[in-house]
Structure 1
Amino acid sequence: MLTIALESARFFAFHGLYQEEQVLGNHFILDVQVSIPEPEHPSMLSESVNYEELYNIACGVMKVPQPLLEQVVHDITAAIRERYPAVAHSKVTLRKQAPPFGGDLAYSVVSLEKHY
């Protein structure tokens, strides 16, 4: 299997259950990892997954506010699979910086891993 990944892509977005999150926004860090069968011609991008396109997919999904991060990682995973049906495995992890519930923590994390 060949793995293509984005690590620590940074976004400012308006995801969150609470109204202040939807108005003020927050900082997010996204990791995306996909695996495909090893290409016959690894020098041909058409036989792989373009990580720039992975980033563009993530950008599009991150622009649409959602109350739950679970929906965001689901939407990114579904969009990747639609664009790249050869993906055999994906893992999308989204971290929200300093979630606003009064706890002393750096991030909350939601991750979705799928095997196709």
Structure 2
Amino acid sequence: MGTIKLKNIRTFSYHGCLEEESKIGSDYSVDLEIKTDLRKSSASDDLKDTVDYVLLNRIVVEEMAIRSHLLEHVAHRIIIRIFKEIAAVSRIVVGVSKLNPPIGGDVEAVTIVMEEYRN
């Protein structure tokens, strides 16, 4: 087995429960970690034998573009879509961070982390 990580995927998105958040948007950061078998690709040196991180990035960016009230909801959509589109993935850990959240304090980020295994 092996791990592929994408760190700090940055997006500008419109998530949140407040009406203002749907209009002004915020900066977000996503960290993604997947487990897959890397033995074949390590021997073949061929992209078709691994999980393409370009596809992983695209899935994250596309799902972050769909408005959700909760960070948990968008993270769950990312997980569902990766499992649906990439059979070689056995485990996913995704963290979604809202940077400078409007919570009435000096907070750098609010982050949720979800972990799922393929059934």
TM-score range, shorter chain: over 0.9
Q: How does 1:26-37 map to 2 (within 5 A)?
A: 26-37=26-37
Question: Is the CA contact 2:95–2:111 (under 8 Å) kept in the aligned structure 1?
Answer: yes
2:38 alignment partner in structure 1:
38
Structure 2: distance between partners of 1:108 and 1:25: 15
Q: Any unmatched runs of 5+ in structure 1?
A: none
Q: Is the 8 A contact 2:15 2:25 kept in 1?
A: yes
Report what 2:5 is aligned to: 5
What TM-score, normalized by structure 2, do the two folds share? 0.92
Aligned to 1:113: 115
Secondary structure of the 1:66 match is: coil
2:58 is equivalent to residue 56 of structure 1: yes
Q: Which protein has the bigger helix share?
A: 2
| RMSD of aligned Cα (Å) | 1.1
- CA distance in structure 1 between the aligned counterparts of 2:30 and 2:89, rounded to whole angstroms: 19
SS at 2:87's partner residue?
A: coil
Q: Deviations over 1:11-36 (max 9, x none)?
A: 00000111111111000011111011
Moved more, 30-39 or 19-28: 30-39
Is 2:104 the counterpart of 1:99? no
Rounded to whole Å, the distance in 2 between the matches of 1:96 and 1:60 is 17
Q: Which runs of 4+ in 1 moved over 4 A?
A: none
CA distance in 1, matches of 2:83, 2:104: 36
Aligned partner of 2:73 in structure 1 is 71
Structure 2 Cα separation of the partners of residues 18 and 88 of structure 1: 35
- The one-letter code matched in structure 2 to 1:5 is K
